[in-house]
Amino acid sequence: MGKLNSKVALVTGAASGIGRDVCYKFLEEDAVVIAADVDASALEALKKEAPGKGLRLHVIQCDITKERELERLVSAAIQEQGHIDILVNNAGVMDNFEAVADVSNSQWDRIMNVNLRGPFMLMRLLIPHFLHHKYGNIINISSIGGLQGGRAGAAYTTSKFALNGLTKNTGYLYAEQGIRCNAVAPGAIETHIGDAIDYTKLSKDMSELLITGMKLNPRMGKPKEIAEVVLFLACEDSSMINGEVLVADAAWTAY
């Protein structure tokens, strides 16, 4: 018997990086996993490579920026499994380190829709379900970019600060009704989230500021290390933790 003991978990951004390792870790701990991602081919690869031949892994293509697709996702998951116990809002995108004067409307909307609006809508959809079952566990994948001002651009930083606030508010307001809501704030992790950053477009001053901050980073982390933190919040070992943002950054923000 694993730590999750047949609980049903819905994970977004599941096909790569932290999301992929969360799915695999949950499967190892006897959960049933509904893996959602916008990339259908990556989802198929996820299922093919899953431990135990992926028998407890179910994949659903979904664009979390579209409310109707989220409604379809939740409906399909509940219809197939009967209930959902755990929600991991992992899907996220990075900005290009633009300061506020350089952020376009389209860039702002893209970051907010994926990093904040998508998690908000999924939480809003699932809270009534959790209340009905008197149990629910929400884990939002945030960032140390949501704790300090110099880890990303204006849009990404704002989205993660807001996600942390949403986490704390939700954890507090539903604490007496069997629902927990926490966030994990990773530091620098070896994923592909930063692949789209065009460092050639950064000004000299901005580049120097970023380099100064990166020099303080003790080391890069691996997705599987964050998956272990998510597992801790997902299981009953962390039953007293609610409304918290748990930092996992190898002491980068300790300076």
Q: Catalytic one among 24, 135, 156, 172? A: 156
**Residue 24 annotated to the active site:** no
- 184 burial (CB, 10 Å; 0-12 / 13-18 / 19+) is buried
In the chain, where do the E strands start and end? 8-12, 32-37, 57-61, 86-89, 136-141, 179-186, 245-248
What token pair was written down for 26?
A: 């949950």
Q: Token match 């880890």: residue? A: 151
Which residue, among 188, 224, 221, has the nearest Cα to 20 in the 3D structure? 224
**H or E segment and range at residue 197:** none
What token pair was written down for 152?
A: 């990303």
- Please state the φ and ψ torsions of residue 136, each to the nearest 5 degrees: -175, 145
What token pair was written down for 20?
A: 């992929």
Q: For residues 145 and 186, give the distance between their C-alpha atoms in angstroms, rounded to a whole number.
A: 9
Q: For residues 160 and 143, give the distance between their C-alpha atoms in angstroms, rounded to a whole number.
A: 6
What token pair was written down for 241?
A: 């933790």
- For the annotated catalytic residues, the residue numbers are 156
